[in-house]
Structure 1
């Protein structure tokens, strides 16, 4: 979300910024196009796509379906060796919230959920989730400026961490379901503050039907 929908993605400038050649850059752009994040116009350039609401909801469906299973395993299989990792991520989240650092808060949020997959014993599941949630992640990142959202995420992660350490499977599942359902408020916030960045807003109603599944 550092580049707004409709902006041109300059391959030349990005290669210079990242210190890479054109070949890996083109491969990356093709991957972004496959995920619906950019639109490649032959002989016309590459442009950042809008947030596609149906893809946001699709990503949420994939994420919630997989994480609701892995969180139970994380609580069941918790090993104290992971306690320090959990505590460190909570500390980093507090620090990011204090500085109102959206990028860091979003990155640590993802690291926390990746760690839960690792604790569950199935670390590769995170990559499956990550590959399916490009559009969802754009909404999640854009949601951090929402009033109270920094603190809300921290409180919910602390509660999840406590339940996992206690190996309380049912409590961990309940807390994660509540945590993931917060996406509705985030979507509403993004629609209100940046409606032009979103396409297919009529699909938002689909989300309500998924929350009870």
Structure 2
């Protein structure tokens, strides 16, 4: 639970790069032992979400490692293009209706300016695609590899606030699935996921302090 809560906070930028994660206050906040907190933080370190603080003992929220993004993106695309191919071949009318309802929930969040709600609805939509495809475990695997991509997506929403393009792309995906067009669905999914690369390039110019290359100097606050 501690790992999940901290991970979600880091991905959502409620805990931002450079913020210190100290064991004692976290243990008090969660009512847990320091070894339990340390275990959670070590798991976050394995995911490159936290790093050792250079000026004192303890860990801090890491910047987004640029080198990790292309591989994670390609792995996600390989899995999710396969997912929508399966979905286009086997989706039932009821499942298509559920996909359309999921897109409508995203539109409601857009109208309300609800970034957290939109992100949750977006995640639910992609999870539902894997369910429709008959391979819900695909989404579990995607979830383990996309943390850094999710940070970029959440940062993009915070900086630009644009949910509309993703919603329209989701709508087009559902249309291709409903029409039983696996090739078109796969092409649309690939384009949808590749769009993150453009967002990342823009974010690097707007908020460069949140990204790093291996040779960059240490982050200072």
Q: Shared fold (TM-score greater than 0.5)?
A: yes
Question: Gapped runs of 5+ residues in structure 2?
Answer: 1-12, 216-221
- Is 1:36 the counterpart of 2:48? The answer is yes
CA contact (8 A) 2:81 2:187 kept: no
- Is 1:174 the counterpart of 2:187? The answer is yes
| Residues 15 and 93 of structure 1: CA distance in aligned 2, closer, same or farther (over 3 Å) | farther
Partner residue, 1:191? 204
CA contact (8 A) 1:55 1:136 kept: no
The Cα of 1:160 is off from its aligned counterpart by: 0.6
Partner residue, 1:48? 61
CA contact (8 A) 1:74 1:117 kept: yes
Partner residue, 2:4? none
The Cα of 1:8 is off from its aligned counterpart by: 0.5
Root-mean-square deviation (CA, aligned residues, Å) is 2.3
**Matched pairs, number:** 202
- Is 1:93 the counterpart of 2:67? The answer is no
- Is 1:127 the counterpart of 2:140? The answer is yes
The Cα of 1:18 is off from its aligned counterpart by: 4.9
Question: Gapped runs of 5+ residues in structure 1?
Answer: 203-213
- Is 1:75 the counterpart of 2:97? The answer is no
The Cα of 1:16 is off from its aligned counterpart by: 5.0
| Residues 88 and 15 of structure 1: CA distance in aligned 2, closer, same or farther (over 3 Å) | farther
- Is 1:27 the counterpart of 2:44? The answer is no
Moved more, 100-109 or 64-73: 100-109
Q: Deviation digits for residues 111-151 of structure 1, max 9, x if unmatched?
A: 21111111111111111111111111110111124557311
Q: Deviation digits for residues 146-180 of structure 1, max 9, x if unmatched?
A: 55731101100111111112221122112112211
TM-score, normalising length from structure 2?
Answer: 0.82
SS, match of residue 115 in structure 1: helix
Partners in 2 of 1:147 and 1:6 — Cα distance? 22
